[in-house]
Structure 1
């Protein structure tokens, strides 16, 4: 086998049609929720492969990372959407400033903390007085999984690297070898990621559309 043949064997399978070789990235459609959906899809493919083709201990950490990042991005999208609803609806925030710049700054401060992001989303949902319980906060089961996910990786580093921290604080992310029930752990994160991606997001997106339509109607009537 010559070098050219070896390279050909290493190539990814080429799509059947030339048009399918093209990917579209960027543009107005690309937001955190859209990218979160991509990370979720990649995570699901990896988790399904692990489940169907037998244990592969190289996959759990990358799969967890992709699910976690999907959850993180979905939470950030939900927070921004809730903030827009609160700001547009002029709901009482108790003095909290939910202007876009302020919200972006808060999200940078929360950074990769799933716990802080979930708590911020709950706070913003609580400002929307037209959201009746239980839709005005994250459900208990989802919060339980979010807290579990945060404990596993509080900074967004644990699922990304084998070593975390810097300088003298540098340490192994997983110093002790551990046997875990990966299926049970990843399945609850899988369900959570889908709920945020297609459940909470759809509900909040629909609420915002109705809010916008109502305000446009009020402006027409008053004009």
Structure 2
């Protein structure tokens, strides 16, 4: 793929660095095959870098929401990419495509994938694993991965709890910044182990990256 490089003009805020400046400040965009798995890798790296900054430079509570949202979004992207691969494999194996619905009406796959519901995405992927010609141990999602996805979903069922201070439709388990005072009049706070968060979310991301790779090879072996 050829990449068109445009010289930065005086009014261009997003062009490449001007002549004589450090070319390392340029981001190379558009020369790689980019799918949701590739983008998810970038989100994971961003969150990992933020955690490393926390470890080496000291706590920064303002980074918590961006960190956990970025890990969550990487997981969402990987679930969606894995589903796209799995659906192609189902088609080639002669299995019927799942009936995808919204508000009790059938919808196209791309429309259905607009969801931010991690549990829904994970359940659909698990259903694909169950019918594809895979090793018996891979017929269902790893329990620890499913557990983490489920817990993230409980905290953020609609994909907005870690992005905004006000959540439109919070549930009893939704993560919120503002909680009611307890009996003593104090507002309870929560503490999260950032390093453990990285490890747990990283485990899910690594698993899903492997699932995407496996399904891609499965599809390629079938000549799709």
TM-score using structure 1 length? 0.75
SS of structure 1 residue aligned to 2:137: coil
The separation in 1 between residues aligned to 2:175 and 2:41, in whole angstroms, is 30
The total of aligned residue pairs comes to 187
Q: TM-score, normalised by structure 2?
A: 0.74
| 1:190 Cα offset (Å) | 2.0
The alignment status of 1:102 with 2:108, answered yes or no, reads yes
Task: Assess if the C-alpha contact under 8 Å between 1:78 and 1:121 holds in 2.
Answer: yes
Q: Tell me if the contact between 1:112 and 1:155 (Cα under 8 Å) persists in the aligned partners.
A: yes
Q: 1:84 maps to which residue?
A: 88
Residue 168 of structure 2 is aligned to residue 156 of structure 1: no
Unaligned 5+ segments in structure 1 are: 1-13, 216-223
Q: Does the Cα contact within 8 Å between 1:161 and 1:173 map onto a contact in 2?
A: no
The CA deviation at 1:189 is 1.1
Query: Which residue of the partner structure matches residue 184 of structure 2?
Result: none
**Structure number having the greater helix percentage:** 1
Do the aligned partners of residues 29 and 127 (structure 1) sit closer, same or farther apart at CA in structure 2, a change above 3 Å counting?
same
Question: Over aligned residue pairs, what C-alpha RMSD do you find?
Answer: 2.6
Q: 181-190 or 20-29: which moved more?
A: 20-29
- Answer yes or no: is the 8 Å Cα contact 1:145–1:192 preserved in 2: yes
**Structure 2: runs of 5+ lacking an equivalent:** 1-17, 101-106, 180-188
Alignment deviations for residues 86-127 of structure 1 (CA, whole Å, 9 cap, x no partner): 112212x3x7358xx83222212xx11111110111112222
Checking the alignment, whether the CA contact within 8 Å between 1:162 and 1:172 is kept in structure 2 is: no
- Which residue of structure 2 aligns with residue 4 of structure 1? none
Q: Which residue does the alignment assign to 2:5?
A: none
Counterpart-to-counterpart distance in 2, 1:150 and 1:156: 8
Cross-structure match for 1:209: 220
1:1-223 aligned at under 5 Å gives the runs 18-26=22-30, 29-91=33-95, 93=96, 96-97=98-99, 102-108=108-114, 111-128=115-132, 130-165=133-168, 173-176=176-179, 177-197=189-209, 199-212=210-223
Distance 1:48 1:194, change over 3 A: farther
